[in-house]
Amino acid sequence: MFVWVRYFVSKLALAMLISVIITAVLYLILYFVTKKRKNKEGLKIKEKEDAENMFLSLACNAKRVDFFVKLASKKHSNLKKFKDYVLISHEDNTKTLLYLNFSFNNLTIPCFVEIYNKIKGKAEKVVILCYSYDKEVKSFANNFDIKFLIFDRFETYQRLYKFYDIYPEIKEKYKKDKLLTFKDFVAYSFNKKRAKGYLISAMLLVLSALFVRTTIYYCITATILIILALVSQFNHIFNIKEQEEVL
């Protein structure tokens, strides 16, 4: 910002004052715009691979329920194990049901209704784990009095395994190469850790403006670097936010 102002305003003190005011206003706008947006923790490429293999390993394990009993027992003591789910009883007499849908098919609305008919009346909160789900399922689940949380294989890794710091043993692995996707490249480039580097590069151009009237090319370059730093700092997709307890 200072580079642009300095380009059009010859007086150094005035340029600095205008830059501070504009920067403060932009920061406040970004702060309030992003304050209420829910962050999603972007998994690293290795974590995504592990999440895939953990789902595969559990899907091939007839005793997968035992793992989730072990996971839930880290926080809760009153547990009951069933064929497809774990029922957790809380001290306030409410219950949470952890349903294991380890099919490799998408969780659709008809599949959700089938699960609902199996577990209705058993708990106030139901967490459904699945490979993936249709985007309409979550909004459809809001039609019921039960609170539903629906996690795909990656969300299961993030919200359960990682949060409770307990991971299923990987006994089966996909034998295919994981190629770097465009989304992975963007996740690396715009992670919060990159913001510092972009900002330092921009500041070098800003410092040069103290001694010489920079050309339009310097202004454009510094502006791009500042934008990259702001995107990396404030984006809500690839930065980490502490998760609430699920079970």
The number of residues making up the chain comes to 247
The answer as to whether 247 is a domain residue is no
Q: Are residues 68 and 121 in the same domain?
A: yes
Same domain for 128 and 74: yes
> CA 182: distance to chain centroid?
17
Q: Which residue has the higher pLDDT, 45 or 93?
A: 93
Domain count, the chain: 2
Residue 174 covered by a domain: no
In this prediction, residue 56 has a pLDDT band, given cuts at 50, 70 and 90, of very high
In terms of domains, do 81 and 23 share one?
no
pLDDT tens-digit series, residues 82-135: 999 999 999 999 999 999 999 999 999 999 999 999 999 999 999 999 999 999
Which of 116, 133, 164 is where one domain is finished? Answer: 164
Is pLDDT of 34 > 50?
Answer: yes
CA 12 to chain centre: 43
Contact 25, 224 (CB under 8 A): no
Residue 172 lies in a domain: no
Q: Are residues 72 and 145 in the same domain?
A: yes
Amino acid at 188: Y
Q: What is the mean pLDDT of residues 55-69?
A: 96
Do residue 145 and residue 197 come from a single domain? no
Q: Let me know whether 64 and 27 are in one domain.
A: no
Residues 88 and 16 both lie in one domain: no
Cα–Cα distance between 240 and 218 in angstroms, integer? 33
pLDDT the model gives residue 40? 42
Given this model, what pLDDT does residue 228 score?
A: 76
C-alpha 103 chain-centroid distance: 23
* DSSP β-bridge partners for residue 132: 106
Same domain, 57 and 117: yes
Please indicate, yes or no, if residue 169 is contained in any of the structural domains: no
Q: Are residues 118 and 212 in the same domain?
A: no
Residue 159, domain member (yes or no): yes
Q: Which domain holds residue 196?
A: 2-36+181-234
- In terms of C-beta density within 10 A (0-12 exposed, 13-18 middle, 19 or more buried), how is residue 158 classed? buried
* Same-domain check for residues 16 and 97: no
Match 């209420």 to its residue by tokens. Answer: 36
Residues 232/202, Cβ–Cβ less than 8 Å: no
Q: What are the φ/ψ torsions at residue 125 (nearest 5 degrees)?
A: -135, 135
Q: Is residue 198 part of a domain?
A: yes
pLDDT digits (tens, 9 = 90+) for 121-174: 999 999 999 999 999 999 999 999 999 999 999 999 999 999 999 999 999 998
The domain that holds 121 is classified in CATH as: 3.40.1350
pTM: 0.60
Asked if residue 173 belongs to a domain, the reply is no
The residue out of 134, 164, 194 marking a domain boundary is 164
* Cα end-to-end distance, the chain, whole Å: 46
- Residues 71 and 159: their CA atoms lie apart, in Å, by 12
Residue 159 sits in the same domain as residue 49: yes
